[in-house]
Structure formats: structure tokens, C-alpha cells
Amino acid sequence: MKSEPIILLDMDGVLYDFTGAALAAHGSSETIYHHENAKGVWDIPMLLGISQEEFWRPLDNGAFWDKVPLIAGAQDFVANLRRLAPVYFASVPSRSPECWRSKVAAVYRDFGVPESCDRILLGSAKRLLAAPDRILIDDNDKNVKAHASGGGVSVLFPRPWNKLWASAFYDYNTQGHRACVMTPVDQLYSKTLMHMKLLLPEGE
């Protein structure tokens, strides 16, 4: 018997602006991805020229995680996905216990307690969630590859730090010079939702 499909939805980078908050904590911003050598690069510490330990030092605390902002349009995106299939939030927390607490609190606050209380999956081994009836939406190239290798269906969410970085930018000319501006995330939500509707037509 065929199982009901479910959606595994990543949090950081898809629903919450972890990258922007992390870069700000280091006195930088997402404009770092305007540089050609930064496009498609997942490793933020490498872009900043610091070690992993230096990168995580100001982030591994409740004060940081409680302030990671919800991306505009994320609630509508989740509401639309829920019309297609049950949504489970799947995220990899940092080593800080405060990160785990904050992620659960954020989902409850932003996406509703009754709808979300038993649908939060936290842990580093997302690959163990892979199955033919499970669709992962994630911004990490390695996660979507591992999920597909495990038999699941993967949807890579376009961001400047993954291989779909070109979809995360508008290119345009300003006074004869080529420049880059990030595509509003709500437009990326719309494109991803269209893809999901092909995979999971409403009403089926």
C-alpha cells in the first residue's frame, strides 16, 4: 500500500534568515555573495576568513537564536504547502541547547502549536529521514543529494550559497556595469510551490 507523502521542510535558509543573522553577528552582510568567488559557497567561515570555532562563538547562545528572523512570506509558504501534504520541520541545530529550545519555540510561535507540536524533527542525520514518500525542501546541496540517494524526493531551495545560486539573483546593468541583486525570497517561494504542485497536485 502506498504511503501518504509528507514534506520535510528545512528551517535555516528556507524559513529563517540564519545566514543574514550570522553574517551580521560578524559585522558582514549577504552582500558578500555579490562577489563571484562567493556564489554557490556554503562555507560561511571560509568566506569570512575565520575558523569554525571563531564563527560559532558569537552564535551558540540563546540571545542569537532567539533573534534569527522569520523570512517574509514564510508563513504563507508553509500554509500553501500544508494544502498539499503534511509538513514536518526538519532542522540541524547547533551544539548549543539554547538553539534546540529556540527552534521549537520559533515553530510554535510562527506556525502554530496545534499544527506543529508533533512535527518538529531536530538532528544532524537528515539522511535517515529519506524514503520514497518523503519530499525534502532544503537549501543545502549535500542534504538534498543524501536524501535523494536514500530514496527520497529532493527539492533544492535556490539560495546564493548553493548550486542554484543563479536563480537567487537578478542580474542587471547599471551605468554599463554588471551588478547583482538578490531575488526576493517570496518569489523563490512561489517558484518552489509551483514545483511542489507538480509533485503533489492538490486534492489527490
CATH number of the structural domain 6-199: 3.40.50.1000
| Beta strand 169-174 pairing with 177-182 | antiparallel
Per-residue pLDDT of the chain (204 residues; tens, 9 = 90+): 467 899 999 999 999 999 999 999 999 999 999 888 999 999 999 999 999 999 999 999 999 999 999 999 999 999 999 999 999 999 999 999 999 999 999 999 999 987 888 899 999 889 999 999 999 999 999 999 999 999 999 999 999 999 999 898 866 445 444 556 788 999 999 999 999 999 987 644
Distance of CA 31 to the CA centre of its chain: 18
Residue at grid coordinates 560559532: 56
What is the helix (H) or strand (E) element at residue 122, kind and residue range?
strand 120-122
Three-state DSSP class for 179?
Answer: strand
The x, y and z cell numbers of residue 200, run together, are 503533489
